[in-house]
Structure 1
Amino acid sequence: MTTLFVRHMVSDYKNWRKAYDAFSSVQRANGVTAEAVYQATDNPNDVTVTHEFATLEAAQAFIKLEELSKAMQSGGVVGTPTVWFTQKV
């Protein structure tokens, strides 16, 4: 199992969350088997999300989706997200 972590700043968490929730069908259609959202304790607009995939290749393909890029932009993501992949051992 591979977990994709994405940390980014958003302009407004409530607006971002609406866009994120609306994207759930695209997540499922592209191999996301589980997901979670975290906020920094000192800044609700500092958001980290995790998405689990069966393979690293599926996670890497997901992060490259044009649909994802557009959703992040419309959701108010500020700047360039920090992205990393992990394997459960």
Structure 2
Amino acid sequence: MTTVFVRHTVSDYKSWRAIYDAFSSVQEANGVTAEAVYQATDNPNDVTVTHEFATLEAAQAFTKLEDLTKAMQSGGVVGTPAVWFTQKV
């Protein structure tokens, strides 16, 4: 199992969350088996998201989706997200 962590700042959490929730069907169609959203305790616009995939290849393909880039832009992601891939051991 591969987990992708994405940390980014959003301009407004509530607006971002609406876009994120509407994107769930795209996540499912592209191999996301589980997901979670976390906010920093001192800044609700500092968001970390995890997505789990069966394989590293599926995770990498998901992060390159044009629809994902568009959703992040319309959701108000500020700057370049930090993205890293992990394997459960």
Same fold (TM over 0.5): yes
Which interval holds the TM-score relative to the shorter structure?
Answer: over 0.9
CA-to-aligned-CA distance 1:17-67 (integer Å, 9 cap, x gap): 000000000000000000000000000000000000000000000000000
Partner of 2:61: 61
Matched residue count? 89
Partner of 2:11: 11
Q: TM-score, with normalisation over the residues of structure 1?
A: 1.00
Cα distance in 2 between the residues matched to 1:34 and 1:6: 14
Q: TM-score, with normalisation over the residues of structure 2?
A: 1.00
Backbone CA RMSD of aligned residues: 0.2
Partner of 1:45: 45
SS in 2 for 1:72: helix
* Gaps in structure 1 of 5+ consecutive residues: none
Percentage of matched positions with identical amino acids: 89
* Gaps in structure 2 of 5+ consecutive residues: none
Q: Which 4+ residue blocks in structure 1 deviate beyond 2 angstroms?
A: none
Partner of 2:2: 2
Task: Give, in angstroms, the shift of residue 80 of structure 1.
Answer: 0.1
